[in-house]
Structure 1
């Protein structure tokens, strides 16, 4: 399967001072997964095959609840084309 892009924003229901530490744990898990990713101010965008990226999304929910979130609201965006899509084709002209 061709690479696609998935953007993930997690909003864990934790005290305000815990939001960034919980999100940092999610980003660390994404980093350790080995997929190409880019952290933005509102979301993290990843590149890889759909099944792998959706597993990462599921793991992100678990990390948030393991860190004390009673609820997690996540915003997921998927950019899919049969032939694949890359982050570079979208943003390379801005770099």
Structure 2
């Protein structure tokens, strides 16, 4: 299952330069999307799920700031997709933790 990172940056919207209200709306959208797991980080959101579902939700995430008044949106997506073994957010973290313990 692919693991992806998405960053949505709204520009030119009304009011404050803060984007936390946009981020909150994006997190709500993800929470309402069946079939995916997601985790907010300080600079992006990591999402795990079927690639077809991910592309659909990424499109919705990109469009959401426009509906909230943004005049321009920059969206960056990175996808990690393996065919040789199962890939999960937690598995990626556990792999690093294991290597840290090994020294």
The answer to whether TM tops 0.5 is yes
How far 1:72 sits from its partner (Å)? 0.5
1:9 maps to which residue? 7
Q: Distance in 2 between matches of 1:5 and 1:64?
A: 23
Instruction: Report 1:75-94 matches (<5 A).
Output: 75-82=76-83, 83-92=85-94, 93=97
Q: Distance in 2 between matches of 1:43 and 1:27?
A: 11
2:23 maps to which residue? 23
Q: TM-score, normalised by structure 2?
A: 0.81
Name stretches of at least 5 consecutive residues in structure 1 with no aligned partner. none
Q: TM-score, normalised by structure 1?
A: 0.87
Q: Which runs of 4+ in 1 moved over 6 A?
A: none
- Larger gyration radius, structure 1 or structure 2: 2
Deviations 1:16-71 (A, max 9, x none): 14x11112101110111131111100000010011101111100112110001111
- The number of aligned residues is 91
